[in-house]
Structure 1
Amino acid sequence: MTATTISPARHRLLGDHTWQADAVCQSTEYNPVDPEIFFPEPDETDKIAAAKALCGQCPVRRACLDAALEAGTTDGIRGGLTEEERGPLHEKLAQRLDYSRVNDTIAGRDVHLTKAERRAVVRAAYRHGVSEQRLAWLLKITEEHAQKLYRELRRALRNRDLDQPSDTALLPEASGEHLVRDDFGTAA
Structure 2
Amino acid sequence: MHRTNTPQPRTLGDHSWRDRAACRSTPYHQVDPELFFPEPDEIDRIRAAKALCAQCPVRRVCLDAALENGDSAGIRGGMTEEEREPLHRKLEHRFDYGRVNEVLAGRDIHLTKAERRAVARAAYQAELPASRLAWLLKISEEHAGKLYRRTRREIRNRAVEQQEKAEKTPRNRPHTLKNPTAKLPGRDDLGTAA
Distance in 1 (alpha carbons) for counterparts of 2:129 and 2:113: 21
1:92 to 73, 90, 93: 90
2:136 is paired with a residue of what secondary structure? helix
Tell me by how many angstroms 1:58 deviates.
0.5
Runs (4+) off by over 3 Å: 166-170
Deviations 1:16-71 (A, max 9, x none): 10000111111110000000000000010110000000001100101100000011
Distance in 1 (alpha carbons) for counterparts of 2:58 and 2:157: 44
TM-score of the superposed pair, with normalisation by structure 2: 0.82
Contact 2:7 2:61 in 1 (8 A): no
1:43 to 36, 41, 44: 41
1:168 to 1:92, Cα distance in 2 relative to 1, 3 A: closer
Contact 2:92 2:112 in 1 (8 A): yes
Aligned to 1:180: none
5 Å-filtered alignment, 1:25-174, equals: 25-164=23-162, 165=164, 167=166
Q: How many residues align?
A: 168
2:12 is aligned with 1:14? yes
1:156 to 1:5, Cα distance in 2 relative to 1, 3 A: closer
TM-score of the superposed pair, with normalisation by structure 1: 0.85
Contact 1:9 1:100 in 2 (8 A): no
Distance in 2 (alpha carbons) for counterparts of 1:36 and 1:123: 45
Tell me by how many angstroms 1:161 deviates.
1.8
RMSD: 1.7
Contact 2:59 2:77 in 1 (8 A): yes
Deviations 1:66-86 (A, max 9, x none): 000011111000000000000
Tell me by how many angstroms 1:128 deviates.
1.5
1:88 is paired with a residue of what secondary structure? helix
Amino acid at match of 1:21: D
Deviations 1:76-114 (A, max 9, x none): 000000000001111111100100000000000001000
- Consecutive unaligned residues of structure 2, counting only runs of 5 or more, are 171-194
- Consecutive unaligned residues of structure 1, counting only runs of 5 or more, are 171-188
